[in-house]
Structure 1
């Protein structure tokens, strides 16, 4: 499992999540931050730090943000889980 950063990040783009990540797996993209699915250790430290509640476990992403799961995996050229 990994965490997915969703649409609310696009308007805020706050780096609080980056600062608390113990493995530095959160990267800044042009439009938002992304969590590398192969580097994430599933600790969840980023979730409470997000001021706009944009971060979810990949199996709990709300329906309206489901496209962000594929967007995250595509950003890192990693196949999504089955």
Structure 2
């Protein structure tokens, strides 16, 4: 099992999770982070650090978020590794609880 970044991260991109990851499995896109499933060691440290509550164990993803398993795997192959915390996007707090943001994902 791996951990998956879900829709709540879109247009937020808080990077608190990156600081605690012992294996640098996060990848950074323009307005979203993903977890590389081949690198994740299932340590759970990132889950509690995410202000948007966007990270789930693959088996615990809400039914409407299951597609994010494939999205994380796909984008992890394309996006660069992020290893240090950065500022969230400027309007992250406004977007954190918004639902239905998949169309806002910048690939």
Asked if these proteins are the same fold (TM beyond 0.5), I'd say yes
The TM-score with structure 1 as length reference comes to: 0.86
What SS does the aligned partner of 2:10 have? helix
Structure 1 partner of 2:62: 62
What TM-score, normalized by structure 2, do the two folds share?
A: 0.68
| CA distance in 2: counterparts of 1:15 and 1:45, whole angstroms | 13
Give structure 1 regions of 4+ aligned residues with deviation exceeding 6 angstroms.
none
The answer for the alignment partner of 1:80 in structure 2 is none
Q: Which runs of 5+ in 1 are unaligned?
A: 78-82
Cα distance in 2 between the residues matched to 1:27 and 1:21: 12
Structure 2 residue 28 is matched with structure 1 residue 9:
no
CA shift at 1:27, angstroms? 1.2
Aligned twin of 2:87: none
Indicate if the aligned counterparts of 2:12 and 2:31 stay in contact, CA closer than 8 A.
no
Give the alignment's Cα RMSD to 1 decimal.
Answer: 1.1
Any unmatched runs of 5+ in structure 2?
78-107
Residue in 1 aligned with 2:33?
33
Q: In the alignment, is residue 72 of structure 1 matched against residue 72 of structure 2?
A: yes
Count of paired positions: 77
**Bigger-Rg structure (1/2):** 2
> Tell me, what secondary structure is at the counterpart of 1:47?
helix
Cα distance in 1, alignment partners of residues 55 and 26 from structure 2: 11
Q: Which has the higher contact order (CA 8 A, sep 6+)?
A: 2
